[in-house]
Every structure is written in C-alpha cells, then in structure tokens.
Structure 1
Amino acid sequence: MNSLKPTIASETTLRPASAGWGTLAGFCASLVGIGLARFAYTPLLPAIISAQWFDPSKAAYLGAANLAGYLAGAISGRSLAARTSTAFTLRAMMLLASLAFFACAWPVSFAWFFAWRFLSGTAGGALMVLAAPTVLAHVPASRRGLAGGVIFMGVGVGIAASGTLVPLLLEQGLRQTWLGLGLICLVLTAIAWRGWPTEHAPADTPAQHRRPAANGTLKALYVEYALNAAGWVPHMIFLVDFVARGMGQGLQVGARYWVLFGIGATVGPLLAGVLADRIGFGRALRVSFIIEAISVVVPALGLGSIWLMISSVVVGAFVTGTVPLVLGRLHEVLARHPAQQRSAWQTATVGFALFQAVAAYGLSFLFSYSGGNYSVLFIIGTSAMVLAFVIDVVAVRNANGQ
C-alpha cells in the first residue's frame, strides 16, 4: 500500500484544481449527499405509502435509516479517505449516493430499501466530513466565508428542490422519480469528478505543531454546534404540522411555509459566508445565535403570519448558513494546528448528528406527552440557541484572559 501513496500524491499534485472548480465540486457534493439524498425523501414519503410500497410505520423507519447512516459516515469518513485518498473517497461516496437512488426505484424488500437508505446516509455523512475541509484548505483565508457559503448552498438547493422538483417528477411515476433523481446525482458527480484539489494543501505542510491544541474555545464550539442542531429541530420537524393543525390552516398552507424555509436554506450559506468575510467568523457566529434565538421563538408568541413567514425564512437560512460559519470558526481556532482541522470538523459533525437525532426523538416524545403543545417545543429550541450564545461569549472571554 505504501508504494501506491507517492503515485497518488504525484498525480494530484500535477493536476491542481482551481479554488473555483473545487468550490463547485464541494457544492455538488453537498447537493448530492445531503440536499437530495436526505431531503428528497420527505416529499417522496406520502407517495411511497400511497403506492403501497411500504406501510406508514415502515416508511418512517426508512427515513430514520438515512440519519443512522449519516452518523456512520461522519464517523468513518476520514478513515476511508486515509486508506485510499480523499479525492477517491469523495468520488466513491457521490457514486454511492447516486446508486442508492437507482436501487430504491425497486422496492425489493424492506431490508433492501433500508440498506440503501442507510448507505445513502453514509455517503452524505462522509461527504460532509471530507468535502468542505478539502476544498477550503486551498482557498485564501479572505475568501473562505464565500467559498464555504457556496459549498453548503447545495444543501439548501436540495431542500428547495424537494418541494419543487420532486412533485414534478412524481407526475411521471414513483419509480421514474427515483430514477430521475439518480440521473441528476450522476450528472453532478461527473461535474465534480475532476474538481477536487490536491491531496495536501500548502497550509497543511508545517509539522511543528504536533501537540493537540489545548483550547477551551474549540470544545465550546463543539457544544455550540450541537446545541444549534437541537435548536433547529422544532422548525425542521414541526413547522408544517404547526401551521396545518396547530393554526388550523391546512396542509397546503403549511407546505408554503416549508417552501419559504427552503428558500432561506438556499441563500443562507452564501449570505453567512459574505458576512463572515467582512466581520470574521467568530463575530458572525455570535450574531447568528442572537438572530436564530429570536426567530425560533416566533411561533410560540403568536405574532401572526408575516412574522411566521420571516421566522421560516430566517431559520431555514441558518440551518445551512451556520455550517460554513462553524467550519470557518474552527479554522480560525486551529489556525496554528492545521493538521487537526479535519479531525476537529469530524468531531463537530458527529456531535451535530447525535444531538439532532436525540432532540428529534426527545421533542417528539415531549410533544406527545404534553398533549400537542407546540409552544414548549419552540421555547426549548430558543433556549438551546441562547445557551450556545452564552457559551461562546464565555469561551471567548476566557481565551482572551489567558
């Protein structure tokens, strides 16, 4: 295996990709692995049940399979890349996500479908851990906010597509929809194929910082990112139901708020990246915590439709926009320890996935236990955002006082 390493390294060094091409590859990866592989399943769920592929309870378990796979991919992504190369792993994971769509076009059995939904999530988790850090290591620091925003905009585009493209494809049939999504993913994989940067960026070459970065700010960042994952759950899971049943406005009106959520998710990373390039990732992150806290609590206050629309757009924007902010902040915190940046991002992603899953199940239980009290869910989400802000402020003050 060792004899292969110089060959792989030399090939990638001889064909360095531009930062712009790498950013496009990262965008395609987030669109395929997260935007489509995860979020396209939501509008497909009623069609799967209506076509009697699976009953409602089994179909819900199939949705959970993707989340479980995502966690597995986030944990194993770097190990997979270490055995071959990062570029090889990124290409393989995009192909795997594409293949999963084709495989799901035939409901052979519950186990078959579960396995492919799990593998689809695994691909998404690995792509989240590997794609952005690989690209951003080659982007000048002054442009990392914008580049990160473009990369993670792919997630928002996928959310928006889940509410627009999928219904159009479903007019041709359920099986044709799965095949169509698989074809789109293959095209995106082909676009990204030669766009991945060299295996090692110049910034990663110094070897003098081999000790772990003893940094309380880094640990605080892990907690803040995980709390954000929990804080978004009320909107991500209960927003449509809150409008449809809680406000008595029906499913069609509730779906419109989800479209607004998707629009926010599409532009959020780009706007957050531009803000970070202007005022720095740390300040931008604290500003985002304040805005998120205000926006998440809006449904609990009963302020009316206009405010709820604003809340939907803003929270959607930060669901995707906070990701490049946290990754950029991580790069700032570990600026003198570049070799640790990828492993730190993996830790943050795993913590995010765990907290999101725990919050989803926990708030669902609380919702049932409270007799359908929506307000308490949004208040808990707001509390998580406020706590993230407080932790960040305290961590920065402690770091400045050292």
Structure 2
Amino acid sequence: MSVLAAAEPGAGRIITAGVCAIILTVGIGRFAYTPLLPVMRAEAGLSTIGAGWLATINYVGYVGGALIASRIHTLERKWFLYRLGLVLAVLTTLAMGLTNNFWLWMVLRLISGWASTAGMLLATGLVLNWLLRHQRPAELGIHFAGFGIGMVLSGLAAILMLDRLSWSGQWYVLALFGTLFLVPAWFWLPRPPAAKNMSLTSDSDLPSRLWMIAFSLAYFCGGFGYVITATFIVDIIRNMHAVAVSGNWIWIIMGLAATPSCFLWDRVSSSIGELWSLSLAYALQAASFALITFGSQPISLFAGAVLFGATVIGTVSLTLSIVGKMFPNNPAKAMARLTISYGAAQILGPIVAAYMAGMSTDYHASLSVGTGIAVFGTCLSILCARYGARLRHRLRK
C-alpha cells in the first residue's frame, strides 16, 4: 500500500504491469492446470501418473527459465525475455486445447513453465530494480497480489465453465482471458535504462556460503510441500467422497486468502524483520499441509486452505525480497539462482506424489511426506533467522 501511496503515476503503472504479468504467466498459464485437472482426467483420458508428469515437466521448464535468467547480466535482455514469456503464456494456454496428444501436452507445459519465469522472476526483478533505483520502499506485497488473484480467477473460471464447455473449450477461454492481462503487462513495464556500474553492496556484506545453503534448502523444503498441495488439491478433495466440498471452491478460498496476505506479510516483516517473518510463514504453511493431510471434516479443509493461501505468497515474496536486497545490483539473477532450489522441489514433488497415489489409491502418503519435509524446512529457516543478525541492517531498508 505504501508503495502506491508514495509513487508517481508512472510507478503505479509499473507495479500494475508486474501484477498483470504474474496473473497471466502464473495464475493462468501455470495454475489453470490445477482446476482443469479433474475435467481433463474425465474427458481427455489423462491418468494420475500422466497428470503428475505434466506438472513435473512444467516445473522443469520453470527451472530452465530460472537457469537462463541466472546467466543473463543485462536488464535489457531480461526485459526482452520478459515480453517473450508473456506471449508464450497465452499461446501455450491456447494450444493445450488444440490437441489431446500427451507428448504435445508435455512440450506445451514445458514451454509454459519457462514462460512463468517472466512473471515470477523477470517481472519481479525488473520491478524491484525500478523501486531501488528510484529510492522507493522495496515492498513486493502489491506485486505478488497477482499470485492470489490468478488463483481466484482460474478457479472461478473453472466453476463457470463446468458443464458448459468441454475441457478444450475451457483452455480456449482462459487463453482469451489471458490476453486481457497481456496488454498492460506488455505496455506498462518500460525498457530499463542501460546498466551502470553501481556499488550498492560490497563483498563483505554478502551472506556466508553455509548460510545461503541453509536458506536455499529451507526454500526447497517449503516448495516440496507446496507443490503437492497446489497441483493436486482439487483432485484430492474430489476423491474425498466423505467430504461434500468442491475442490474448485477450496482453490478459490486459497486464492482469496493469498491476495491480501501479501500486505499482511509486509506489515509483519516491518515489525519483526523479514527473516523471522519468513520462519513464521514456513511454520504456518506446514500447519496448513497438516490440516489438509489429516483433516476429514470441511472445517479443517477450509482452515488448511486459508492458511495455505495466507502463507504461500509470504514464503515466496519474503524469500525473493530478502535475496533481492542482499544482491541489489542484479536482484533478478540472485532470485533466479535461489529459485532453482525451489524449482527442483517442484520437479520432484508432483511425480513423487503421483506415483505414491498410484500405489495407495489416494494422496494421503504423499501429503504426509510433504508435511514432514515442510517441518524440517521450518527448522532450517529458524536457524537462518537466528544466525542472520548481521544481515538485518540491510533487510530493514
């Protein structure tokens, strides 16, 4: 909120462009697959293991995009790839409905995963770089609101299209819908200026290698538990015959909780610091996994959905904000390197969950494993916060 309040009209446009980029590339291009998964299984013959592979290959593309971003040193090239990702997000969403060939789906989801880095990494880095250059508060809460908005929109679209359109028709509508967000994302984020030799930080201020390993591993653990829930939650609830709750509505609740949570975590981090706020977010996220895993009543599913939505943005936005401030000269590159850890978890999670579900006929075992790994990641994040005192002066800026 403080960013927009203090910003000139041009800054408001830049922030809005970043929000639209996340809605398009993540909320639609990447997350629409979750609410459409049951109808694809019912009408297009997609198996549980096939669904897991489609989710995994999407995250392979995401990691590939992060690797490319980590090796690009100029903001202008990042801006070019950002625009390319916006276009590919729309085209791959459209093309998903044009075929029922599994291997073509794999290729499309791979490209879609790469395109999602345009919103999560490139847009985030470009927006953060602009805020830092113009001495604005480097709060990414508004920017990451696009994450939750995208979840809500994809879930509502799936409900409105249910029993009205075929699985392919639903992909077409979502692609058309995505073009509405492509326009501001394309035109309102300007070409960055030529890079200058800035010295916003020194080597002595950088975190130790051991600290960064622990920080990255905590992010991996959070990502593993997150991706199992985010990928299969609609299908998980559909298979809970004793629970009369729509999986799409649970998905929407997650998105509704995620949208305002970014502002909450900005406020929490202002009070207790970003490192301790991140630890709290990890702990609550692990609790959400446990509620969804072991809960058998609608109230536990609703509570788990709210906690999941309220923390998924917190863990991502706080992590990227922390690492972006540690490496202000090239935040997108630093974010990309850390995202490789998160992406590795997102590659492993869906396929492990799919095979475990195939062996046990439900997702309980895979959810339990995801919850345990998330708890371990929470412990690592607490250690990072405990021994990160020397970094706190920079994280307050």
TM-score interval for Structure 1 and Structure 2 normalised by the shorter chain: 0.7 to 0.9
In 1, Cα distance between the equivalents of 2:316 and 2:194? 22
Aligned identity (percent) is 24
User: 1:101 touches 1:182 (CA, 8 Å); kept in 2?
Assistant: yes
**Contact 2:201–2:328 under 8 Å retained in 1:** no
Matched residue, 1:285: 278
Which deviates more from structure 2 when the two are superposed, residues 67-76 or residues 84-93?
Answer: 84-93
Is residue 231 from structure 1 mapped to residue 240 from structure 2 by the alignment? no
Task: Spell out the pairing of 1:333-352 with structure 2 (5 A cutoff).
Answer: 334=326, 337-352=327-342
Q: Quote how far apart the aligned CAs of 1:28 are.
A: 1.0
Task: Please give the per-residue CA displacement for 1:106-153, whole angstroms capped at 9, x wherever unaligned.
Answer: 1174443332222111111243221111101222576322xx122222
Q: Distance in 2 between matches of 1:207 and 1:260?
A: 41
Aligned to 2:187: 194
Q: In the comparison of the two structures, how many residue pairs are matched? A: 379
Are 1:355 and 2:345 counterparts? yes
- Which one of 86, 91, 94 corresponds to residue 94 of structure 1? 86
Q: Which residue of 1 aligns with 2:137?
A: 143
Superposed displacement of residue 37, structure 1? 0.8
Distance 2:369 2:169 in 1: 38
Q: What corresponds to 2:243 in structure 1?
A: 249
Q: Given the alignment of the two structures, is residue 116 of structure 1 paired with residue 108 of structure 2, yes or no? A: yes
Equivalent pair of 1:234/1:377 in contact (CA under 8 Å): no
How far apart are 1:255 and its partner, in Å? 4.1
1:44 aligns to 2:36 (yes or no): yes
CA distance in 2, matches of 1:178, 1:239: 19
Partner residue of 1:35?
27
CA contact (8 A) 1:221 1:392 kept: yes
- Relative distance call for 1:204 and 1:178 in structure 2 (3 A) is farther
Shift of 1:96: 1.2
The structure with more radius of gyration: 1
Residues 324-347 of structure 1: CA deviation (Å, up to 9, x unaligned)? 111121134x1xx42253322111
User: Is the Cα contact below 8 Å between 2:58 and 2:109 reproduced in 1?
Assistant: yes
The corresponding residue for 2:3 is none
TM-score normalized by the length of structure 1: 0.80
Q: Which runs of 5+ in 1 are unaligned?
A: 1-15
Partners of 2:19 and 2:56 in 1: CA distance: 25
Aligned to 1:258: 251
**Native 8 Å contact 2:75 2:192 kept in 1:** no
Which deviates more, 103-112 or 25-34? 103-112
**Partner in structure 2 of residue 391 of structure 1:** 383
- Alignment correspondent of 2:264: 271
Code of the residue aligned with 1:220 in structure 2: it is A
Q: Is the 8 A contact 1:74 1:126 kept in 2?
A: no
Residue identity matched to 1:37: G
Change (3 A) 1:275 1:100: same
Question: Which range moved further: 307-316 or 41-50?
Answer: 41-50
Q: Residue 35 of structure 1 contacts residue 158 of structure 1 at CA under 8 Å; is this kept in 2? A: yes
Between 1:110-119 and 1:295-304, the stretch displaced more is 295-304
- 8 Å CA contact 1:77, 1:127 repeated in 2: no
Q: TM-score, normalised by structure 2?
A: 0.81
Label 1:342 to 1:384 Cα distance change in 2 as closer, same or farther (>3 A).
Answer: same
Letter in 2 for 1:22: I
Amino acid at match of 1:356: Q
Q: Tell me the distance in 2 between the aligned counterparts of 1:83 and 1:23.
A: 17
**1:1-40 matches, cutoff 5 A:** 18-40=10-32
Matching of residues 305-316 of structure 1 within 5 Å: 305-316=298-309
Q: Tell me which of the two structures has the higher relative contact order, counting C-alpha pairs closer than 8 angstroms and 6 or more residues apart.
A: 2
Query: Which residue does 2:395 correspond to in 1?
Result: none
Contact 1:70-1:126 within 8 A present in 2 as well? no
